Structure 1
Amino acid sequence: MAPLTSLRRYMNKQTEVVLFSSTAIALYGYDQGLMSLINTNFDYLQTMGLAESDPMVGVIVSVYYLGCAVGAVLASFFADAKGRRPGIFACLATASLGNLLMFIAGLWTSKGAMTLMLIGRTVMGLGVGGIDAVVPVYSSELSSDDARGTALAQEFQANVFGLNMAFAINLLLTNQLSKFNQWAWRLPIIIMQIYPIMLFAVSTRLPETPRWLVLHNKKDRAKKSLIRVFGEEGAQEQLDELITAHEKEQKDGMVSYSDMLFPSGPQFHPTVITVMGQINQALTGYGAVSVYGPQIFELLGFAVMTAEYLTMGNYLFYLIMMTFAWLLIDRMGRRWLLVHSAWLLALSFLILTLLGGLATNNTQLHISPLSAGIPGVIILYLATSTFGIGWLVPPWLIPTEIYPSSARAQGSAISVIIWGFANFAVTLLTPIGFNHLKYWLFLVFAVTNAFAGWWTWMYCPESGGRSFEENQDFFAEAGEKGRWKVKVVKGGEWLDMPEQGSDEEEGEGNKADDGGERQPLLGGLMRGSS
């Protein structure tokens, strides 16, 4: 009994929330790694009636992202109406159904196999897109101002774990069963069911966010939820703060999608930041690297099997280096990581263009393929880690920090929608780029990363270390100024993270006393545990 008692002592509510959210995010990562080797399985291609260079290979991969876009909208409405927790559960059930449809596609007959696979990918996208929209909101509403980035970065490290798990299972089964065996691609698909099963098993232990309960005038339930997390002491005080913040938002009026999507709307500016964050993340090219990893290494001159092992090594290094993401994001800030990572990625892809050219033309240049391939592996490993540290988390985190509570789920949904469409385009066009541009595809990514860094430096404010209300002050100041450049809004105050104990925090920024959201929900406990 002693070990069980000890486990229960450490498994408090905030730990359970992080573990649950991490497992849900790992489901998204698993799908990213799932299709890498399935796309090159000969039985899969034959069952779908496709050649390896057929554009439909990319369509099957990318249609998932369209499902994600639609799923984000549906899930945001559902989570706003029924709760964050029920929203997550509905999305898990949908993802599980889509996964099952993928598994049975062509199992008994190849007739209609590709159609069923497309349907399965789309349905699974609906579920995973919903998870991507709701889980960051759920997590952010249960984290303190100085721990929001750390919590989400830890959850996205689980995303990379899911990617590693999928690719490792794929690689193991491919080596054991061969690329001509149907179970080498079907088993990795159905094994994904472990994620929704685990999440459903612990679902009753999760709290609904008191912030959502207050938003829907369920004050008694909100207090019970706070007591469940904190105990009796301090619960009423935190409830009063949440009610005060909600009443202030009611005076300002509820936010609609038209307020967010049209230039005249009061939330249009944060929507542009959200949209461009996801577009720029897609432009880094790492949606393509995660799905088409082996093909990327083949461009550097490696044989198919070697490229697959190098991809596995890249994913493992990626997982380890993600530790720096949650160590740095609440210390250096979202903006600092985004800008510096984008420029490092641009330089990396520029070097990879040169190395890809040397590897492709090694015979004419009378050089060993390894003389370009080995440096290329090192650069690509470092570039992948740079993306994980700087670009994987902030585009998901920032939308949860810059909208008021009444628009947070919609903002997160818009984020997933743009992510879905942007990655649909990238994953659809990448195979075409392989076939026509070869190693010059690296140069395209060098240019797009340079653009992402420039745009972020110009227009993306630093949202870390501030309350939700303080972040909204940036947009109010920008509106008064009539300009969106960060360096000209209030003297560039939002260029960097505010210093701890600065005048901003102690003065106008300290809004916990007047009902602001400086201390969201699990604030004191999360700070103590980090």
Structure 2
Amino acid sequence: MTQTTATTTRSARLTGPMVAAAAVSAISSLLYGYDTGIISGALLQIRKDFTTGNGMEQVIASAILLGAVLGALACSRLSERRGRRGTVLLISGVFVVGALLCSVAPTAVTLALGRVVLGFAVGGATQTVPMYVAELAPAAKRGRLVLTFQVGIGVGIVISTLVGASESVSWRVSIGVAAVPALLMLLLTLKLPESPRWLVKQDDRDEARRVLHRVRVDGADVESELRGIVELEDRERRTDERERGWSGLRRAWVRPALVVGCGIAVFTQLSGIEMIIYYAPTILTGNGFSTTAALRVSVALGVTYLVMMLVGLAIVDRVGRRRLTLVMVPGAALSLAVLGALFATGHSGRDSMPFIIACLVAFMFFNAGGLQLMGWLTGSEIYPLAVRGAGTSAQAAALWSTNLLITLTLLTILDTIGPGPTMWLYAAFNVAAFVFVWRRMPELTGRSLEQIERDLREGRFHPRDFAGPSRRRTARR
């Protein structure tokens, strides 16, 4: 074996701490998918136990989202003050407490309050865990670890639908069991070091060096990596205070990135994904489906979500972020429009069941494989370094706030205008999403973070200013 081959093989390995970090990333995202998805099937049992109406069911389903907004905003500041690791430890503990509170809730109101606590952990995890793991990871492994986080969400949703479809597990057990992986996440995080980048921010370069030696394979060029972290931190400190953090988001040259990021976040939710994940069983049972059939449809939707998330992540760098979104969104809009027509014309009985299921699966196919990918990808790419933490926090808050609004009003809208017009309303939101992406979202695929920041500063953050992957290949030829 040549020296080059040996070096490549060695660098391809992950150290024990990085394996543990990958596990923390996977568990936190699995909890995100599971805790948000489990309410779909649980609502059918909760309705019987607490004799809830649509209003309280909306409150119970949306309570986790209120907590997520608070967690996304609060943990952005906590991670700067307490450190990334300290914040992840706090989030892990809140996951445990929230799951247990929900499982023993004596009333519908206390269940909703417990889900606010659980939501704080969900929102905090989406804000902090990917950043912490990315700052620990070597550059060559960062993409795979981000993939671990996104796939974990899909896995969590699938598990939650399988648990719900079994119909043999009490909702208290199905919600409370989430405390077990949360406790494992807490124990794993206790064994992890602090982020070397945060340590450099605290002027503790010796500890940052020790951490890098611990998380890198033997023979890695730790000193060179540390110099790079220090240089980046020095450059950030030289940045005008008005261009950093939340203040920097108000700068005119940053505004186009904020509009695109928050706009995409809002449309990922307005597209109808949460309506399907949270309320598909409720909608279906209300239109003649048996409970068993409705829960099995939820499993099919969860599996479709996971598969299309994997497919989308595999092809997005070749197809392009903007192009993939523009290709997939019309399919989601058409699926909801046809579904709305079936409900509006009275074709929602047993004979039409295959068509309704086909529309739901088709919607999930087009939505999960396109627009849903962009909600988290854009946040990690479009914001300049000096405002990246504030930008991703604002984007996460926009996403969770829209999710909260939808979940809190959907059943009321269904009661008021009926399922058919409701589906048409969300089909219209998909049309609006297509127009927004077409007019405002540039093609970011293949561009470095530094190139994107430079174009923002020069006022060239528009679709016409960015060539897609195929156009760049044609230009090179």
Q: TM-score, normalised by structure 2?
A: 0.88
Measure the CA separation in 2 of the matches of 1:33 and 1:235: 41
On the 8 A contact 2:62/2:408 being kept in 1, the answer is yes
Equivalent residue of 1:292, what SS? helix
Instruction: Supply the AA of the counterpart residue of 1:227.
Output: H
Aligned to 2:235: 248
Matches within 5 A, 1:58-73: 58-73=58-73
The AA in structure 2 aligned to 1:257 is W
What is aligned with 1:516?
none
Corresponding residue of 1:157: 151
Cα distance, 1:337–1:217 mapped onto 2, change above 3 Å: farther
Give 2:43's match in structure 1, choosing from 19, 32, 39. 39
Match for residue 429 of structure 2?
A: 448
Structure 1 residues 221-232: aligned runs within 5 Å? 221-230=207-216, 231-232=218-219
Q: Map residues 300-449 of structure 1 onto 2, 5 A cutoff.
A: 302-358=289-345, 360-361=346-347, 369-370=350-351, 372-436=352-416, 437-449=418-430
Report the count of equivalent residues: 461
**3-state SS, counterpart of residue 458 of structure 2:** helix
The Cα RMSD (Å) is 2.8
Distance of 2:384 and 2:82 partners within structure 1: 19
Letter in 1 for 2:182: P
Counterpart contact for 1:136–1:397, Cα < 8 Å: no
Question: What amino acid maps onto 1:72 in structure 2?
Answer: A
User: What is the letter of the counterpart of residue 271 of structure 1?
Assistant: L
1:406 Cα deviation after fit? 4.0
- Could you tell me how far apart the structure 2 residues matched to 1:150 and 1:449 are? 30
Name which of 449, 457, 467 aligns with 2:448.
467
The Cα shift of 1:424 comes to: 0.7
Identity %: 23
CA distance in 2, matches of 1:495, 1:240: 34
Work out whether residues 466 and 498 of structure 1, in 8 Å CA contact, stay in contact via their aligned partners in 2.
no
Shift of 1:45: 3.0
* Structure 2 Cα separation of the partners of residues 410 and 56 of structure 1: 33
Match of 2:458 among 477, 489, 497: 477
Deviations 1:268-294 (A, max 9, x none): 332222211210111111011111121
Residue 154 and residue 388 in structure 1: after superposition, are their counterparts in 2 closer, same or farther (change >3 A)?
farther
Instruction: List per-residue Cα deviations over 1:152-173 (Å, max 9, x = no partner).
Output: 333222111111222222332x
Query: Structure 1 residue 30: deviation in Å?
Result: 0.6
Task: State the match for 2:257 in structure 1.
Answer: 270
Distance of 1:64 and 1:291 partners within structure 2: 12
CA contact (8 A) 1:153 1:393 kept: no
Q: Which residue of 1 aligns with 2:75?
A: 75
Native 8 Å contact 2:28 2:185 kept in 1: yes
Q: Which runs of 5+ in 1 are unaligned?
A: 1-8, 107-112, 178-183, 363-367, 504-530
Structure 2: tracts of 5 or more residues without a match = 1-12
- Paired with 1:282 and 1:66, the residues of 2 have a C-alpha distance of 14
The corresponding residue for 1:210 is: 196
Counterpart-to-counterpart distance in 2, 1:239 and 1:500: 35
**C-alpha distance in 2, partners of 1:239/1:293?**
50
The answer as to whether partners of 1:299 and 1:439 remain within 8 angstroms in 2 is no
- CA drift of 1:377 comes to 1.5
Q: Paired residue for 1:294, among 281, 303, 307?
A: 281
